[in-house]
């Protein structure tokens, strides 16, 4: 049922590059596995150094490892002692010449991996999950405030079907707010007819449109999806009035929980 996509799957070759840069034919599986072992080893050994990612480049029997870290001083050590010890251990473990390059992550609050690890560490220390999440979000928003839209070429765009749930801190991030009205009755009926075009049903769509006042287009889409899942769960291909009611109740219950900060 899950339809999950790797977070950089669509970005490769566009705004992101590969973490492993080499070509091989015969030893390809072995080298892929070795890359994984290298990353796991570095992550475990430098778990306190804020490792964002590890890139591996290969040429012949040499490997260049580029470590992106929020604390380069810890990785390098006094007079380079730590990084030299790491290089020697890697060469001894993987039987090849190793070169190590250290890259500093200047804004760890904007790196997804480091933010997630920070939240996880707080949860391990028994910090309340809401407090940990709020700290991470606040740190992110503070750093966004320091980004120049001209120098960094960043355009911040957001959209929500429930603006009443946003606090003032969220609204301050946007220079311009453009409100869009929720679908009226004719529009809701048109959306429902489009969504149910290929579904087998004798439900009065006009009546459903009347009962879904305040629903957004995304809400109506979720309603239809839940109704279809309800029918399929019972082994039916035809939607009934009860299936539609279940979808409506799900949307309304979800909105109530959001208003109470339950989800």
Residue 61: pLDDT band (50, 70, 90) is: confident
What was the pLDDT predicted at 7?
A: 77
pLDDT of amino acid 257: 52
- The CATH homologous superfamily of the domain defined by 20-106: K homology (KH) domain (3.30.300.20)
The CATH number of 185-259, from 2.60.40.420, 1.10.3720.10, 1.10.8.60, 1.25.40.80, is 1.10.8.60
Q: pLDDT-derived band of residue 4, with 50, 70 and 90 as boundaries?
A: confident
In this prediction, residue 152 carries a pLDDT of 54
In tens, the pLDDT along 84-114 reads 999 999 999 999 999 999 999 888 888 888 9
pLDDT digits (tens, 9 = 90+) for 29-51: 999 999 999 999 999 999 888 89
pLDDT at position 262 is: 46
Q: Which pair of tokens denotes residue 49? A: 């150094």
How far apart are the C-alpha atoms of 169 and 204, rounded to whole Å?
43
Q: Assess whether the region 20-106 and the region 185-259 belong to the same CATH fold.
A: no
pLDDT at 232 > cutoff 60: yes
Q: How many residues does the chain have?
A: 263
Query: Of residues 203 and 146, which shows the higher confidence score?
Result: 203
Mean pLDDT of the region 78-89: 91
HEC letters along 229-262: HHHHHCCCCEECHHHHHHHHHHHHHHHHHHHCCC
Give the span between the Cα atoms of 56 and 66, in whole angstroms: 6
- Residue 106, classed as helix, strand or coil, is coil
Q: Write down the domain spans for the chain.
A: 20-106, 110-156, 185-259
Residue 263 confidence class, pLDDT cut points 50, 70, 90: very low
* Residue range 114-143: mean pLDDT, rounded: 86
pLDDT exceeds cutoff 90 at 243: no
Which is more confidently placed, 192 or 4?
Answer: 192
């Amino acid at each position: 049922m899950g339809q999950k996509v790797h977070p950089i799957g669509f970005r490769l070759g566009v705004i992101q590059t590969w973490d492993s840069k080499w070509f091989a034919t015969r030893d390809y599986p072995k080298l892929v596995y070795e890359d994984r072992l290298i990353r796991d080893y570095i992550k475990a050994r430098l778990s306190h150094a804020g490792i964002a990612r590890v890139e591996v480049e290969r040429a012949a029997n040499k490997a260049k490892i580029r470590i992106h870290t929020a604390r380069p001083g810890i990785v390098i050590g006094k007079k380079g002692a730590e990084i030299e010890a790491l290089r020697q251990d890697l060469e001894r473990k993987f039987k090849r010449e190793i070169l190590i390059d250290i890259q500093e992550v200047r804004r760890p609050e904007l790196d997804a991996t480091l933010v997630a690890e920070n939240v996880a560490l707080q949860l391990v220390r028994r910090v309340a999950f809401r407090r940990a999440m709020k700290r991470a979000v606040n740190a992110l928003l503070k750093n966004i405030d320091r980004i120049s839209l001209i120098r960094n070429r960043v355009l911040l765009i957001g959209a929500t079907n429930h603006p009443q749930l946003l606090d003032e801190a969220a609204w301050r991030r946007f220079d311009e707010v453009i409100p869009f009205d929720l679908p009226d009755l004719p529009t809701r009926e048109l959306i429902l007819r489009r969504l149910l075009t290929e579904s087998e049903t004798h439900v009065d769509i006009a009546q459903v449109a009347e009962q879904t006042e305040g629903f957004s287009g995304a809400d109506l889409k979720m309603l239809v999806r839940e109704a279809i899942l309800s029918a399929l769960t019972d082994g039916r291909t035809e939607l009934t009035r009860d299936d539609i009611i279940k979808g409506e109740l799900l949307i309304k219950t979800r909105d109530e929980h959001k208003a109470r900060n339950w989800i």
